[in-house]
Structure 1
Amino acid sequence: MSWSAASFDWNQARAFLATAEHGSLSAAARELGQTQPTLGRQVAALEEDLGVALFDRAGRGLILTDAGRELLMHVRDMAEAAARIPLTASGQSQALRGTVSITASDIFSTLLLPPIIADLARSAPEIDIELIAANELRDLSRREADIALRHVRPTEPHLTARLLGEGLGYFYAAPAYLARRGTPETPADLKDHDLVGFLDADQMVAQLTHFGIEVPAENIRYRSDSGLAMWEMVRQGLGIGLMSADMGLRSPDVDLLFPRHPAFRYPIWLVTHRELHSARRMRLVFDHLAEALTAHIARTHARFPAA
């Protein structure tokens, strides 16, 4: 397979990459903000230029051919290199102005970060903050965010991370639910109760089993991919739900169950791209978040000494 520099078209390569990663032209078109016919023409033009088929058409989906898989590795490397250009440039900026984007779960974005950002605004008023509330991981290498608050340790070599501490999670229920169904005395009693959880019930069952709590999947009767929506269903008395201690402390209308036994613990990592970490405004925001969140974690643990 040959591809001369003179004939290189990054739009075609980007169209191919998006299609390969999403498995369909329609999904790739939505990702790139293009129409499906336009994207299809770019992929077809790339196949014609290379003289090979990059996809096998299978119903509405697309499957990479051997040539497509080989090309995909190179195009991904190109995309990573292209993403590093603005990263490197941003990393050299020493100005305390500009935009910094932060991504975190919807719970943390709503509960923890706004007051921390407000405090930052008083000391660095020329830095604009873009807060991305998303429960899925954003790709920092592609500038989907500058700084991320995560509950899993990053493995990518170009990212730098700081472990801020450990969060606590407990079971909670609304008084209306407990009045209707009774109050469980131990975690083992949850097998006889309705639960509110995330969309993947089997995954939640596996996580609870890991912590020694046996709950049938059919007991997880109410589910959402949003932590805020899930919590609201708990507050409405639909069932017992897992939630971070931070949210529980701010919700006097729900009851904490089994206060001496955290249902789960989770690490809290602050992550950024290595090149961005050297930029003055990025470093300022990163360090401000780290200091404020570390103090918050310590205060939360002080409220639950048995944990």
Structure 2
Amino acid sequence: MDWDKLKSFHAAAEAGSLTAAADTLGLSQSALSRQITALEEQLGIKLFHRHARGLLLTEPGKLLYRAAHDISAKVALAEAMVADSRDKPSGDLRVTAPTALGAIWLAPRLAAFNAAYPDIRIRLLLDDHEIDIANLEAECAIRPWASTQNDLVQRKLMQVPQHLYASRGYLQKRGVPASPADLDDHSFVQYGPPSMAPIPNLDWGTRLGRAEGQSPREAIIEANTINAVMKAAEAGLGIASLPDYVARENEKLVRVLPEIEGPVFEVYFVYPEELRGSSRISVFRDFLISEAKSWAG
């Protein structure tokens, strides 16, 4: 079976649409469609049901997808091992992280990594949902939660406190709360719905100072990314409980009730067991550990 055709099929099955798969592979939609049609003709079976909402795998297509997924993971591992056989660390390194952690904390630090290792090309994949690194959809991850998979290696990078933050304009208009009880007179911005938050207890600020069993304060606005919560707080919509890696270095925000710290959580660097000896992983891990220590002070 031709690997190019199989790779095209696998990408289309992963994406659920020809357009998204073509973008991923850097092909035109028509070229990708021809590859899949040729594979279907070669096998004598229909792999997809095509409908207005995208692509739906047929039963034979599901069987082939499982096999192609395993092959894709093995090819990715082989490519990673070849990259690490060179004399010095080089090649692509696919890194995944949640959107806020990746965009606000990690991305600005990558210039220093590039200066130290110019032959490593970082491919940053930001997603609040967990990307499967066991199957090498990415080669390593930075996550604000511990891994539950036994075949992954993880190293704690840092502990992250949370605090309440608001814009100066908001506090000038509404006043600065002096105690948790004063928060009842203020507007709140929060991650929502809280049950879907990538980090537990992001809504702790709405419950601060409330008696056990009392309902939390109702937020004036909810947003489903931490980055959006931060931007809403910057705009003066209200007080937000935010991880310090998002807000501590943000000049547009100031701490509210700075002596009160919210729930602390840990951030981990995670990678597959098969890449334990990877030079690219090792230098990136050591860089992150150094940056995390500097950030934590």
TM over 0.5: yes
1:74 deviates by 0.4
Structure 1 residue matching 2:276: 3-state secondary structure = helix
Q: 2:210 maps to which residue? A: none
Aligned length: 287
Q: Provide the C-alpha distance between the structure 1 equivalents of 2:55 and 2:77, rounded to a whole number of angstroms.
A: 29
Aligned partner letter, 1:34 = L
Whole-Å Cα distance in 1 between the matches of residues 133 and 87 of structure 2? 20
Matched, 1:242 2:241: yes
3-state SS in 2 of match to 1:152: coil
Deviation of 1:77 (Å) = 0.5
User: One-letter code of the match for 1:9?
Assistant: D
Give the corresponding residue for 1:3. none
What code does the residue aligned with 2:230 have?
Answer: W
Q: Which residue of 2 aligns with 1:293?
A: 292
Query: What is the identity, as a one-letter code, of the residue corresponding to 1:132?
Result: L
CA shift for structure 1 position 70: 1.1
- Code of the residue aligned with 1:69 in structure 2: it is K
Scaled by the length of structure 1, the TM-score of the pair is 0.73
| Distance (Å, rounded) in 1 between the aligned partners of 2:150 and 2:188 | 39
In structure 2, the residue matched to 1:221 is 221
SS at match of 1:278: coil
What's the counterpart of residue 163 of structure 2?
Answer: 170
In structure 2, the residue matched to 1:256 is 255
TM-score normalised by the chain length of structure 2? 0.75
**What is the CA distance between 1:241 and its match in structure 2?**
2.1
Provide the residue aligned with 2:122 in structure 1: 130
Superimposed CA distance per residue, residues 155-188 of structure 1 (whole angstroms, 9 cap, x where no aligned partner): 4555321123321112211232123334456667
- State the match for 1:265 in structure 2: 264
Which segment is superposed worse, 278-287 or 103-112? 103-112
Which of 19, 23, 29 pairs up with 1:36?
Answer: 29
Structure 1 or 2: larger helix share?
1
For residues 163-202 of structure 1, the aligned pairs below 5 Å read 163-184=156-177, 193-197=186-190
- Equivalent in the alignment of 1:67: 60
Listed as ranges, the gaps of 5+ residues in structure 1 are 1-7, 300-307
SS in 1 for 2:161: strand
d(CA) in 1 for partners of 2:84, 2:117: 20
Answer yes or no: is the 8 Å Cα contact 1:135–1:226 preserved in 2.
Answer: no
Structure 1 residue 262, shift from structure 2 partner: 2.9
Structure 2: stretches of 5+ with no match in the other structure: 208-214
**1:62–1:145 distance in 2 versus 1, CA, 3 Å:** closer
Shift of 1:234: 2.1
Alpha-carbon RMSD across the aligned residues, in angstroms, is 3.8
Secondary structure (helix, strand or coil) at the match of 1:264 reads coil
Amino acid at match of 2:267: I
C-alpha distance in 2 between matches for 1:209 and 1:198: 7
After TM superposition, give the deviation of residue 30 of structure 1 in Å.
Answer: 1.8
Indicate conservation of the 8 Å contact 2:140/2:272, yes or no. yes
In 2: Cα distance, 1:284 partner to 1:223 partner: 36
Displacement of 1:93 in angstroms is: 4.0
Which residue of 84, 90, 109 corresponds with 2:83? Answer: 90
For residues 252 and 280 of structure 2, the distance between their equivalents in structure 1, rounded to whole angstroms, comes to 40
Cα deviation digits, residues 239-275 of structure 1 (max 9, x gap) = 2223222454434553322434433332210123434
Matched-pair contact (CA < 8 Å) for 1:116–1:292: no
Report if the CA contact (8 A) 2:94-2:125 is conserved.
no
TM-aligned CA deviation for residue 197 of structure 1: 4.6
**Match of 2:7?**
14
Shift in CA distance, 184/215, structure 1 to aligned 2, threshold 3 Å: farther
Q: Which amino acid aligns with 1:169?
A: Q
Identical pairs, percent: 28
Seen in structure 2, the aligned counterparts of structure 1 residues 245 and 58 have a Cα distance that, compared at 3 Å, is same
